[in-house]
Structure 1
C-alpha cells in the first residue's frame, strides 16, 4: 500500500511541475504571438495547476491512518479532490466555449508557425502525461490520480483543437481559404463539449462514491463466490461493499450452524476476512456478521 501511495504522489508531482511549465509557455507564447487560442489554452492550464494541487493535497491526506474522528480512514479525501477537478473542468469547458463562440464574431487573427509548434509540444506532452497517470491511477486505484489523468485528457482535447485550428488557419493563409480562419473557434466549441462531458462523468463517479454506492456487481459476485467456498458457510444473507478512495471496505452477513461455539464462529469470521482480502488487494477491512443456520431450513 505504501509503494502504491508513493507511485501516486510521484505521478501527481510530475503533473504539477508539467502544468506550471506548460502554463508559462502557452501564456507567454499566446501574448507574444497574439494567439487567442494559445492564450485560452494557457489560462485553462492555469486552472489545472489548482486542480493538481488539490489532488496532491488529498493524496497526502488519504494516507493518514484511521483515528477516533475518522475510524474508516481518510481515503475519501481523494474523492473530494476528484469532485473538485470535475468542477475545474466544467469551468474550463465554459471558458473554452465562451472564448470560441466570441472568436466567431471577431476579425480572425493571423496564425503563426511558432504558435503551432507550442501547441504541438503541449499536445505530445499532455498525451504522455495522460497515459502515464492513467496507468498509475489504475495500478494504485487512486481516485485523485485518475482525476488528474482525465484532466490531462481534457488538455489533450484542448491542445489538439489548438493544433487543428492554427493548422487550418495557416493552410488558409497559404491557399487563400477565407473560411479557414474560423477553423480555430469551431474546433474550440467541439472541445468544450468534450471537456464538459468528461467533467460530468468524473463528477458523477465522485458523487456515487460519496453517497456510498455499492461496488460493481462483478466484485460482489466475486465476494459471494469466496464466501460459498468457505466450508462452514451455509447461507449468504447479505454482501455489500463501498469504496473509500483508493481502498474498499466489505460488509457480509452469512449463516453458519447455530450449534457452533463462539470460538468456532470467531475462527470462521477470520477465515472469511482473510480470503476476501487475499483475493482483492484493494480491500482493507471486512466486517463479518454471523447468523444462526439450522438443518432443514429453506
Structure 2
C-alpha cells in the first residue's frame, strides 16, 4: 500500500529536531567566535545559523500540520502545508541574506581589526557538522518524498558553503595582513549572494507543488504502465497528479469494454487502484473515472 502522510511527517519531525539543536549550538559558537575574534564573516555565518533554527522550527510546525488527517474542509488532507513552509524558509533565507549583504558593505567601507586565527578552527568544526547534517536530512527528505525537508537539508548545505567562504576570507585576511582585513567582509558578501541563490532553489519546487505541477515524468509513466497491466483495461488517458506533502493523489481515466456492466467496470477500477497503491509507495490515493470503449479490443 502507499505510504501515509503521517508516517513520513513523523520521520521528518525527528530529523528536524536534530537540525534545530545542532543549528542553535553552532549559531551560539559562531556568534561568540565572531564577536571575540573580530570576524564579521563569522558573525554573518551565525546569522544564517540562527535563520536555520527559525526555519527548522517553521518546518517542525509545518510537518505537524501536514500530518493532520483529512477533514470536511480539507478532503485531500493538509499536505500542502509543507510547500508553504518551504516558501517561508526561502523568504527567511532571503531576509537573512539581505542583512548579511547590507552589513558586509558597511564593514567593507570602514577599517577594522584582522580576524583572530582561532576563528578558523570554529569554521572547520562548523563545515564538517553542517555537511554531515545535510547528508542526514537530505536522505530523510528523499525517503519520505518531502520537499520541505529537502529544503531544510539544502539550508544546512548552504550554511556549510558560507562557512567555507568565511574560512577563505579569514585566511586571506590573516595571510595578507594589514590591508587585507576586508577579505573577511567580502567573504560574508559572497555568502549572502549564495544564500539568495539557494533560497530561489528552495522556493521554485514549492511554488510548483502549490500550483499542482505534474510529478516527475518517469514516475508518471510508471503509474500509467502499472494501470495498463490490469486485465480489462484497454487504455489510460488524462492521468493527472497532485502532490500533497510527501504523497501524491492520482486522477485518471480508464477505458474498458463498453459492453461490460457497471459492476464489472467498478471491479476493474478497484483493481487498477489497488495495483497502483501496491506498486508505487509515493501514491496515497487514486481516483478513477471509467470510460466506455466501443472499439473492438481484447
Q: Is the TM-score greater than 0.5?
A: yes
Show the 5 A alignment for 1:145-294: 145-173=149-177, 178=179, 180-294=180-294
Counterpart in 2 of 1:82? 86
Q: CA deviation at 1:15?
A: 0.4
2:110 is the counterpart of 1:97: no
| 1:289 counterpart SS class | strand
Distance 1:31 1:98, change over 3 A: same
How far apart are 1:6 and its partner, in Å?
A: 3.0
1:21 corresponds in structure 2 to: 25
Corresponding residue for residue 52 of structure 1: 56
TM-score, with normalisation over the residues of structure 1?
Answer: 0.93
Separation in 1 of the partners of 2:43 and 2:236? 59
Comparing 136-145 with 244-253, greater Cα deviation is found at 136-145
Q: 2:66 aligns to what?
A: 62
Q: Is the 8 A contact 1:142 1:245 kept in 2?
A: yes
Distance in 1, matches of 2:291 and 2:98, equals: 54
Return the alpha-carbon distance in structure 1 between the equivalents of residues 187 and 33 of structure 2: 20
Which shows bigger deviation, 152-161 or 182-191? 182-191
Asked which structure has the greater RCO (Cα within 8 Å, sep 6+), the reply is 2
User: CA separation in 2, counterparts of 1:197 and 1:35?
Assistant: 24
- Give the 5 Å matches for 1:121-160: 121-160=125-164
Long gaps (5+) in structure 1 = none
What is the Cα deviation at residue 157 of structure 1? 1.7
Counterpart-to-counterpart distance in 1, 2:195 and 2:44: 14
Q: Note the residue ranges of structure 2 that are not aligned, 5 or more in a row.
A: none
Alpha-carbon distance in 2 for matches of 1:296, 1:286: 27
Partner SS state of residue 287, structure 2: strand
State the shift of 1:3 in Å. 4.9
Does the CA-based 8 Å contact 1:15-1:129 persist in structure 2?
Answer: yes
> In the TM superposition, what whole-angstrom CA distance separates every residue of 1:188-207 from its partner, at most 9, and x where no partner exists?
33322222111112111111
Aligned equivalent of 2:42: 38
Count of residue correspondences: 293
Aligned to 1:71, what secondary structure does the other structure show? Answer: coil
CA contact under 8 A between 1:157 and 1:195: conserved in structure 2? no
Change (3 A) 1:69 1:3: closer
Question: Retained in 1: the 8 A contact 2:27–2:47?
Answer: yes
Q: Is the 8 A contact 2:254 2:269 kept in 1?
A: no
Runs of 4+ in structure 1 off by over 4 angstroms are: none
Deviation at 1:33, TM superposition (A): 2.3
> How big is the alpha-carbon RMSD for the aligned residues of Structure 1 and Structure 2?
1.7
Equivalent-residue separation in structure 2 for 1:167 and 1:273 (angstroms):
60
Instruction: Give the 3 Å change call, closer, same or farther, for CA 4–244 of structure 1 in structure 2.
Output: closer
Give the superposition deviation at 1:97.
Answer: 2.1
Shift of 1:14: 0.4
Change (3 A) 1:191 1:220: same
Q: Tell me the TM-score normalized by structure 2.
A: 0.93
